[in-house]
Amino acid sequence: MSDLQIGLIVLGVALIVVVLGLNWWQDRRVRNKMQATFSPAQEDPLLGDAAPEPVVKTKPVKKAAPVPTERVEPAWQSAATDDAAPEADDEDVFRREPAVGAGTVSRVDEDQPDTAVEALIDLGFARPVPGRDLLPLVRELDRVGQKPLRVFLRTVDGDQFLKLRLDRDYVSLQIAVLLANRSGALTASEWAQAWSRAERIAEQLDASIEGPDPAHVAEHARQLDELCAALDTSVGLTLVPQRPQPWRVAEVLAQAHDAGFVEGTDPDRLEWRDERGAVRFVLVHPASEARGGAVAGRVSLLLDVPRHAASDTAFADMAHVARQLADVLEAGVVDDNGQPLADGSEGAVDAHLRRLYGQLAENGLKAGSPRAVRVFA
């Protein structure tokens, strides 16, 4: 090997060492800057572990830890038998994994931010701000990307409200950012958008702004998304016409109302509710699937397990209503796999659903609760 070759090798090694050293120095500089920005907290509201505490920020967050966006939904599986799972009380707890065991109990109050499934950005005003001055600033705080926002406002009297009143003066507000829903975990971009909007308000009102470590938010969002994906299940039944001509939409709607369905918040769906008014399952509005809303080729009933109220006979009730409609509409009933609904299958399916209801309740996501409806949207 010539002296030239040896020299080139030495030079290459030296260049590699220089590049590695430069990368290490830049990484250390970024870490030191982040540590100087955020201070440690006493306890994390989502997981209960030690975590960084919100501190005053003066610039919007530009980067956050990457969050997995791919979501894998569980496949439906039937069970032969199972005992009814115990129903959790209103003081449910969110835990990292869908496993049994005791944990710290937290009450879910719709008038308060839900720290189990929402990350909070706090703004404190230097002086009371009239509601009419806040109104144009909070109008844009509805959602970021695919994640909804909730705004909680505190008055000078210490009362906290979800809705702004023009005749009140406010001393602070909190922006609650949903950590995960069926679109996936909260992304770094969505969190940065929320922070940027909060900072614009803080600059206009000369307010302090506090928020958690973006990397910590991303980790919470990832864990919540994984948990919800493991518990997310829906069961459907479809009515298929057995007569040559398709149904008229008006006929389907009339028979659906006679079977107990009522109009709901979604214009494309009718709701079947129990005696307490809780939604148990829905009928997909046939007009949304038909050209011009004149005819319909099939009708679908859907039981959204996390979003609809739990019942020991959830699937059996839906199957009973589906068969009633099938009789008057001259239709057959098939399951999600396109197979005819077998007589006596309701017991096995409901046994499996009871187990899922129990897992949801154990993990603080009681079926049909406001928290579950918010997360499984």
For residue 304, what is the domain's CATH number? 3.30.1400.10
Picking from 149-153, 279-283, 296-300, which range would have the lowest pLDDT averaged per residue?
A: 296-300
Q: Among 33-37, 118-122, 201-205, where is mean pLDDT lowest? A: 33-37
Per-residue pLDDT at 172 exceeds 80: yes
Rounded to an integer, what distance in angstroms lies between the CA atom of residue 149 and that of residue 140? 10
Integer-rounded Cα Rg, in Å, for the chain is 27
Domain that includes residue 285, residue range: 233-375
Query: Residue 109, class by beta-carbon neighbours within 10 Å (0-12 exposed, 13-18 middle, 19+ buried)?
Result: exposed
Residues 223 and 237 occupy one common structural domain: no
pLDDT on residue 315: 97
For residue 155, give the 3-state DSSP assignment.
Answer: strand
Whole-number average pLDDT of the chain = 79
Residue pLDDT, tens place only, 14-63: 767 665 666 565 555 544 543 443 333 333 333 344 333 343 343 333 33
Residues 138 and 237 placed together within one structural domain of the fold: no
Is residue 181 domain-shared with residue 290, that is, in the same domain?
Answer: no
Of 5-14, 157-166, 261-270, 331-340, minimum mean pLDDT range: 5-14
pLDDT (tens digit per residue) in 236-290: 999 999 887 778 888 899 999 999 999 988 888 999 999 999 999 999 876 644 4
Domain end call among 230, 247, 275: 230
Instruction: Answer whether residue 168 is part of any domain.
Output: yes
Read off the tokens for 67. Answer: 């969050």
Q: CA torsion sign, 360 to 361 to 366 to 371?
A: negative
Which residues, listed in sequence order, are joined to residue 205 by a DSSP beta bridge? Answer: none
* Average pLDDT over every residue of 89-109: 35
Percent share of the chain, pLDDT over 90 = 58
Same domain, 188 and 312: no
- pLDDT of 220 over the 60 cut: yes
What integer pLDDT is reported at residue 110 of this predicted model? 66
* Overall domain count for the chain: 2
The answer to whether residue 106 scores a pLDDT higher than 70 is no
Read off φ and ψ for residue 234, nearest 5 degrees. Answer: -140, 155
Q: Which residues are bridge partners to 296 per DSSP?
A: 247
For 355, the token pair is: 């187990």
Residues 224 and 253 in one domain: no
Domain boundary pick from 230, 249, 275? 230
Residue 93 has pLDDT above 80, yes or no: no
Average pLDDT value for residue range 185-195: 97
Query: Of the candidates 230, 259, 291, which is a domain's last residue?
Result: 230
Same structural domain, 60 and 122: yes
Pick the more confident residue, 106 or 220: 220
Structural domain contains residue 308: yes
Amino acid identity at 279: V
